[in-house]
Structure 1
Amino acid sequence: MDWVYLILAGIFEMFGVLMINKLNKDRNVTSFLLLFAGFGLSFVFLSLAMKTLPMGTAYAVWTGIGASGGAILGMIFYGEPRNMLRILFIAMVLGSAVGLKLVS
């Protein structure tokens, strides 16, 4: 269950990053509340995952999911560059997270 919590934490981290962009475009209470909820749930699930997973592994996987997911969502929703090197490095981040799962 700890890895499920960690993946959920990463997904909510990605949502929080999207909401930062939304808040910058639409300065309203709804955008702020969505941002707060996304990052708040991310920290809640990270905390639950860290009850059994080592801190270093949990934090590395969480930030990897958030960073690579944010980059992928930026490419999908905001027209950020989609060149092969960028995709390769995102894949390396995700591969590192999978590697940490395999050795934990």
Structure 2
Amino acid sequence: MSWVYLVLAGIFEMIGVTMINSFHKNRNWQSFCMLLAGFGASFIFLSLAMKELPMGTAYAIWTGIGASGGAILGMVLYGEPKDWKRVVFILMVLGSAVGLKLTS
């Protein structure tokens, strides 16, 4: 169950990061509340995952999901560059997360 919590933490981090961009553009209460909710839920699920998983593994995978997911959402939702080099490095981050899962 800890891996499910960790994936949920990463997804909520992606929501929080997306809401930072939304709040920066709109400056409304809805974006701000979604930003707080996204990061709040992310930290709650991360703490639940860390009850069973080692801190280094949990943190690395959490940041990997958030960073790669944020980059992908930026490309899809906000028209950020979709250069093949970016995609390769995102895949490397995700591959590292899978490698940590396989070794723990």
**TM-score bracket, shorter-length normalisation:** over 0.9
TM-score by length of 1: 0.99
2:52 counterpart SS class:
coil
Off by >6 Å, runs of 4+ in structure 1? none
1:39 maps to 39
How far is 1:30 from its partner? 1.0
Q: How many residues of Structure 1 are paired with residues of Structure 2 in the alignment?
A: 104
TM-score, structure 2 as length reference: 0.99
Counterpart in 2 of 1:25? 25
In structure 2, list runs of 5 or more residues that go unmatched: none
Q: 2: distance between equivalents of 1:27 and 1:89?
A: 32
Deviation for aligned residue 1:29: 1.1
Q: Per-residue CA shift, 1:44-101, capped at 9, x if unaligned?
A: 0000000000000000000000000000000000000111111000000000000000
Q: CA RMSD in A?
A: 0.4
Cα offsets for 1:16-59 (capped at 9, x unmatched): 00000000011111111000000000000000000000000000
AA aligned to 1:81 is: P
Secondary structure of 2:77's aligned partner: helix
Counterpart residue type for residue 63 of structure 2: T
> Could you tell me the percent identity over the aligned residues?
74
Query: What's the secondary structure of 1:81's corresponding residue?
Result: coil
Inter-partner Cα distance in structure 2 for 1:26 and 1:85: 31
Please say if 1:85 is aligned against 2:85.
Answer: yes
